[in-house]
Each structure stands twice: as structure tokens, then as C-alpha cells.
Structure 1
């Protein structure tokens, strides 16, 4: 695959990260989503280089295999029953959609009926 283009898209609701898409000459698209840490100064200019680092680490990372030699699915917070991790992920998701995540304001009005005489 030869990369013919890259695209940097704000992620996490424009607050704290980017999705970098690498487009290949055969129509392939590889996306890397990078969350910004408080200590790092991740920006649109250095996001591509950071995404390349992530892909390099991924390419050399060992893949866990089961007894049958097939890749093993990694457990997530829900399957582990990790309530704290699920709450943290929910908070991150809500922050990423702010202000759309604000509760709807509902006002109830009451009109009293007049009694007939």
C-alpha cells in the first residue's frame, strides 16, 4: 500500500484528540484515533506523526492467540464488569458530545379550568 493522502479530523467533540486517516492507492483507509493527554501538546500539525508512531507500535505488537491458534478478543470493561471503567468511558463520551449532551429543558404549565356556575 502506498499512502496517497492523509486527513486529520478533530475527534472527541473537538476537545482532546484527532482521527488521522491514511488513504492508500488501492482505496484502503486506515484510521488512527489519538486522544490528547494533558501533558502532550497534540495538535493538527503533529497528529500525523503521532498516528504513524501508533501504527508502528501496532505493527510489531504481539497478537494474543487462543488454544486453537486464532486471535483472542480482548475483554472490554463491560465484559469484565468494571463499573468504574464504564463510568469513565461514559463521562468521556458525554464530554465529547457537549453541548449536545445537555439535558433537555422541559417546562410544564398548568392551566386551571374555571368552574361553570
Structure 2
């Protein structure tokens, strides 16, 4: 998963969680902001990126500030699948020491693998 996809999925998931907490269905939220239920569903699933003005309208209707829905860079980057992340995950499951894992990371970075 790339960075943009991870970001959009995170935001959508938070929107869904908050919508459900206040007992609002997708159709009702969509009507409040001029979107269809399908668009709300797609935003929540990370299949559609909301524009900034739509995101602000969602925030207003869910009673949250925009920063509530925005993750940190580290939160999103931890979701990204890269060759390095995949290799490091495999190494961790094989119980290599942190020192050995750092050595492998250095090699991967050096050769841009």
C-alpha cells in the first residue's frame, strides 16, 4: 500500500468510527453534506479521497476538529508496504537481534533495495 492510500484509508476509518459512535447512518451524513450514501461508503472504505471542503463538512457534522481525523506521519508510514518493511518484518519473525536488523537496514538503504 502506498502512502496516499494508507492516509485515505486511515481518515475514512476514523470517519466511520465517529459516525457510528453518534448513531448517524451513511445516508443521513451524505444528505447533510450533499453526497450520496455510496460516496460516504467509498470515503469510509478509503476508495474515494474527500476534498478538503467535504472533509471540513464531515468534521462539522460529526462534531470533531479536522486534526482528529489526521494521523501522524509515522502512523501512515507504518502501513506502507515497501521492500524494506517486508524484509524487516521477515527478519523480526526469524528472531534476529536488533543489531542484526539494523545492519540489514543499512545494507538495504545503501543499495536502495
TM-score band by shorter chain is: under 0.3
TM (norm. structure 1) is 0.21
TM (norm. structure 2) is 0.22
Indicate the structure with greater helix content: 2
Taking CA–CA contacts closer than 8 Å with sequence separation of 6 or more, which of the two structures ends up with the larger relative contact order? 2
Q: Which has the larger radius of gyration?
A: 1
